[in-house]
Structure 1
């Protein structure tokens, strides 16, 4: 993934933010919505696109567009920076390949320890029995 090329494919839209803020919130568009067309992106390979669709399917609409937004700050520029950072973080996390699990066997000491614990437990249970029967 070419990060700089991906950033050129992003579309931003400023809209009015919800919640408190008085007159400022009623007249300024501080919430920033980011949209990224995953399907038609030239910055991503087919394999990367497939991985993004699998992992972020809840955020991608039917047209194949990934949507994210930020309204944390009262500044439009700050919200744009925040949503861009969140987007890059999400994409990088999705594209990370998980480490393969290495199969391991129990050590000799752990086998002996387990067998000793089993033996001790069985002796405790055997000692509960009535000796006359």
Structure 2
């Protein structure tokens, strides 16, 4: 069981772990031990996630999310397989907790009179600068 919040708990059978050989330093047994962990979680088909949370997770532009809606996390930070497993699970929890926060709806507003005047003043000033350039070229 992986606890996300009080109401959301992911059972072990929804997580798929694959162990692979990690690159980088590892000592004598670097080519024999499979210490890196690839954790897969099917966001699109998980019955444990509420529908609004699932929609927010799938809407994220995350390169770790496949076209089928599977979240793939690779952990190879440590030399120890157990620590990499824990790291991958912690990162999954962080991603899901970040999606729990509902983004505040943006309220459309109109520009103020002062901001319109400042924008127009800036445009006219820029136009005057360009006008002076054109006169300089015509004299030559």
Same fold (TM over 0.5): yes
Which of 41, 44, 56 does residue 46 from structure 2 map onto? 41
Higher mean displacement: 15-24 or 81-90: 15-24
Q: How many residues align structurally?
A: 128
| Whole-Å separation in 1 of the counterparts to 2:55 and 2:46 | 12
Alignment match of 2:89 (pick from 84, 89, 112): 84
Matches within 5 A, 1:74-113: 74-100=79-105
Q: Secondary structure in 2 aligned to 1:83?
A: helix
Aligned equivalents of 2:63, 2:51: Cα separation in 1: 16
TM-score with structure 2 length normalisation? 0.64
Measured against aligned partners, the alpha-carbon deviations of 1:20-42 in whole angstroms (never above 9, x if no partner) come to: 32422111010011000112101
CA distance in 2 between partners of 1:11 and 1:58 (Å): 15
Change (3 A) 1:24 1:78: same
Alignment match of 1:5 (pick from 9, 12, 25): 9
Query: Please, which runs of 5 or more residues in structure 2 have no aligned partner?
Result: 109-140
Q: Output the TM-score relative to the length of structure 1.
A: 0.67
- Contact 2:64–2:73, Cα closer than 8 Å, also in 1: no
Aligned-partner Cα distance in 2 for 1:100–1:85 = 29
Shift in alpha-carbon separation, 1:26–1:35, aligned structure 2, 3 A: same
CA distance in 2, matches of 1:58, 1:42: 20
The structural deviation recorded for 1:5 is 3.1
C-alpha change, 1:59 and 1:12, in structure 2 (3 Å) is: same
**Distance in structure 2 (CA, Å) of the matches to 1:54 and 1:90:** 13
If you compute each CA radius of gyration, which structure gives the higher value, 1 or 2? 1
CA RMSD in angstroms, aligned pairs only: 3.4
